[in-house]
């Protein structure tokens, strides 16, 4: 999946970075293979992006969002920006929520799709307040998939063949492009204000 990374015996010193601040921190959803591939390529531990589990094979990483690019947040960079590691999830979540474009939803074949217009869709998974609102219109359980960073699908488990439709749409989007932006075909369910893997009865 991450064939663009090549093993190397050593890594050059990173270029000088602009000042980084807590206000720039944003969440980035990644597949576990992202971190695994970096380690297997020999990337030094202090250059591995800081991360925490989200659900199943998905992780939450962090990035400093700059005007023309973004810089993945390592533990060292978090420290240099005055951010304690335990505060990173909350800060990234709050920053995303305060700067997020309006989220709209489209429905197709029994599935809803979140739209932000900024390839931020998968990052919506960390916004607890958003999912509390969405769940108010759900009769059964809220099921979600994130096949790509800009594709976030959902359905109501109580609606007929919605789960099958969700699987079909998820596979369709995951096959659009085979690149570093692919995430996961797993189905997640929202329970107790957290995501867990969905296991149909």
Answer yes or no: are the C-beta atoms of 111 and 130 closer than 8 Å. no
pLDDT digits (tens, 9 = 90+) for 22-56: 999 999 999 999 999 999 999 999 999 999 999 99
Task: Give the list of residues 6+ apart from residue 10 with CB closer than 8 angstroms, or none.
Answer: none
Distance CA 116, CA 45 (A): 33
Q: Which whole-number Å values give the CA distances from 20 to 25, 70, 160, 163, 182, in the listed order?
A: 9, 11, 49, 42, 28
Provide the token pair at 57. Answer: 């094979």
Environment class of 103 (CB within 10 Å of its CB; exposed 0-12, middle 13-18, buried 19+): middle
Q: In which band, very low, low, confident or very high, does the pLDDT at 7 lie, cut at 50, 70 and 90? A: very low
pTM: 0.86
Q: Three-state SS for 90? A: helix
Provide the token pair at 75. Answer: 């533990």
Distance CA 51, CA 78 (A): 12
Q: Three-state SS for 151? A: strand
pLDDT digits (tens, 9 = 90+) for 58-89: 999 999 999 888 999 999 999 999 999 999 99
pLDDT digits (tens, 9 = 90+) for 132-159: 999 988 889 999 999 999 999 999 998 8
Residue 3 DSSP label: T
């Amino acid at each position: 999946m991450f064939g663009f990374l090549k093993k190397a015996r050593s890594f050059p010193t990173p270029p000088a970075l602009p000042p980084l601040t807590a206000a720039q921190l944003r969440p980035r959803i990644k597949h576990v293979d992202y971190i695994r591939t970096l380690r297997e390529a020999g990337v030094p531990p202090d250059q591995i992006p800081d991360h925490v589990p989200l659900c199943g094979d998905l992780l939450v990483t962090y990035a400093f969002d700059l005007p023309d690019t973004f810089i993945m947040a390592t533990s060292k960079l978090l420290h240099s920006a005055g951010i304690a590691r335990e505060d990173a999830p909350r800060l990234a979540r709050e920053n995303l929520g305060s700067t997020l474009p309006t989220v709209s939803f489209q429905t197709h074949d029994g599935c809803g799709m979140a739209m932000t217009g900024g390839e931020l869709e998968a990052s919506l998974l960390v916004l607890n307040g958003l999912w509390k609102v969405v769940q108010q219109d759900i009769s059964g359980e809220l099921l979600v998939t994130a096949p790509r960073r800009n594709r976030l699908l959902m359905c109501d488990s109580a609606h007929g063949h919605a789960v099958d439709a969700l699987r079909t749409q998820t596979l369709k989007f995951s096959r659009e492009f085979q690149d570093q932006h692919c995430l996961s075909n797993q189905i997640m369910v929202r329970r107790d204000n957290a995501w867990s893997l969905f296991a149909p009865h």
